[in-house]
């Protein structure tokens, strides 16, 4: 192994450690010493396995898990005007949670029918949660506390929402790869044709890096971000028969640097947006502990097999 390759592997390990901590930090602080050690062990085990990975970054979540509530539904428009993207995208994400973890959530978050989803979006738009209004849209300062309050009201106080401001491309990829439940808040870039932000549900990331592996995707690369758009939730599907489902829209994504931080940009619907925030659903310490224990058991089993 050359010194260059060794340096690249170390850099990738540290990058994956950093990504893990970005998503897990809000809950790790509450762990005891042994749980923190377990987190570090698992993090490095995963990172070592990924360090020699190819430079193709392709991860797509199961689109069938997502909801397909449309923010243009007349009842949602009556409650939120044209500003219902945030509560609607959260409903589509909570349908995903219900389908992905049916043994935990069943249909208790937003119900099982389109009518249930619609009412859930209207409830979320209220002042107790997201405070979405027809005139000013969603109060972004209420997203973390509002969604945390909503989970608690449904009996899932062990779940909360964490905000990652200006998420990098590798965080978007890692969130897609690990099936994380993430809402992206898009804000119009300078010189864009719109002044209105938008919220979508992250579904996937795809990029074949043909350049230096240490560099992020540039605007000339063909990196793509997939998501469920609440304005077009059944994107690409033939709904003429009356059968609906979620469909992923896709947008060109690239990295920018403002002199201090790296952040992500997307070109979608003829406009450039910066990804201002990623809001990630985070399980509580008890659930994380179970996940970590299971992963440690898996790595121990794999290690014993290799020794044998």
Q: Is pLDDT above 80 for 17?
A: no
| CATH class of the domain at 55-288 | alpha beta
Q: Is pLDDT above 60 for 54?
A: no
d(CA 121, CA 211): 43
**255: Cβ–Cβ under 8 A, 6 or more apart, which residues?**
168, 169, 216, 217, 218, 262, 263, 264, 265
Q: What is the DSSP string of 24-48?
A: HHHHHTTS-HHHHHHHHHHHHHHHH
Give the helix ranges, DSSP H, for 54-153: 74-80, 85-100, 102-105, 114-124, 143-153
Q: What pLDDT was estimated at residue 51?
A: 45
- What is the signed CA dihedral for 215, 221, 222, 228, rounded to 10 degrees? 60
pLDDT tier at 13, thresholds 50, 70, 90: low
d(CA 66, CA 176): 13
Note the pLDDT tens digit of each residue in 189-239.
Answer: 987 777 789 999 999 999 999 877 778 999 999 999 999 999 999 999 988
| Phi–psi pair at 142, nearest 5 degrees | -100, -5
Q: What pLDDT was estimated at residue 29?
A: 57
d(CA 278, CA 288): 20
Q: What pLDDT was estimated at residue 240?
A: 85
pLDDT tier at 281, thresholds 50, 70, 90: very high
Most confidently modeled of 113-127, 228-242, 288-302?
113-127
Q: Is 203 exposed, middle or buried (0-12, 13-18, 19+ CB in 10 A)?
A: buried
d(CA 194, CA 103): 42
**Per-domain boundaries in the chain:** 55-288
Q: What pLDDT was estimated at residue 20?
A: 55
More confident residue, 292 or 67: 67
Q: What pLDDT was estimated at residue 10?
A: 52
Least confident of 15-19, 104-108, 299-303: 299-303
Q: Is pLDDT above 70 for 53?
A: no
d(CA 150, CA 269): 31
Q: What pLDDT was estimated at residue 114?
A: 97
pLDDT tier at 32, thresholds 50, 70, 90: low
Q: What pLDDT was estimated at residue 30?
A: 61
Residues 32-53 have a mean pLDDT of: 55
Q: Is pLDDT above 90 for 42?
A: no
Q: Is pLDDT above 80 for 3?
A: no
Note the pLDDT tens digit of each residue in 121-131.
Answer: 999 999 999 99
Identify the bridge partners of residue 176 per DSSP, sorted by sequence position. none
The conformational region for residue 34 under phi > 0 = left, psi -120 to 50 = alpha, else beta, is alpha
Residue pair 201/183 in contact (Cβ under 8 Å)? The answer is yes
Average predicted confidence (pLDDT) for the chain: 83
Least confident of 8-22, 78-92, 187-201: 8-22
Q: What pLDDT was estimated at residue 191?
A: 78
Q: What pLDDT was estimated at residue 273?
A: 96
Residues 12-35 have a mean pLDDT of: 57
Maximum pairwise Cα distance, the chain: 66
Q: What pLDDT was estimated at residue 4?
A: 40
């Amino acid at each position: 192994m050359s010194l260059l390759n060794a340096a690249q592997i170390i850099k990738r390990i540290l990058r994956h450690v950093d990504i893990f901590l970005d998503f897990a930090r809000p809950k790790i602080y509450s762990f005891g010493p042994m749980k923190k050690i377990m987190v570090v062990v698992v993090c490095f085990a995963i990172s070592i396995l990924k360090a020699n990975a190819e430079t193709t970054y392709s991860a797509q979540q199961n689109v069938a898990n997502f909801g397909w509530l449309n923010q243009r539904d007349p009842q949602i428009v009556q409650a939120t005007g044209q500003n219902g993207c945030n509560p609607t995208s959260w409903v589509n994400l909570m349908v995903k949670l219900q389908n992905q973890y049916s043994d935990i959530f069943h249909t208790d978050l937003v119900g099982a029918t389109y009518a249930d989803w619609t009412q859930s979006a209207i409830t979320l738009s209220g002042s107790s949660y997201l405070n979405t209004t027809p005139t000013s849209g969603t109060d972004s300062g209420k997203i973390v506390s509002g969604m945390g309050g909503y989970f608690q009201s449904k009996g899932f106080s062990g779940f909360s929402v964490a905000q990652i401001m200006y998420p990098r491309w590798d965080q978007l990829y890692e969130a897609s790869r690990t099936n994380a439940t993430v809402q992206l808040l898009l804000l119009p870039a300078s010189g864009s044709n719109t002044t209105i932000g938008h919220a979508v549900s992250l579904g996937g990331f795809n990029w074949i890096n043909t350049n230096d592996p240490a560099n992020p995707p540039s605007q000339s690369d063909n990196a793509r971000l997939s998501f469920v758009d609440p304005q077009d939730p059944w994107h690409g599907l033939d709904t003429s028969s009356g059968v609906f489902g979620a469909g992923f829209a896709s947008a060109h994504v690239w990295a920018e640097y403002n002199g201090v931080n790296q952040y992500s940009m997307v070109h979608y619907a003829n406009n450039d947006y910066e990804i201002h925030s990623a809001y990630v659903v985070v399980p509580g310490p008890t659930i994380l502990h179970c996940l970590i224990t299971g992963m440690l058991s898996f790595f121990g089993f794999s290690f014993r097999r290799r020794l044998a």
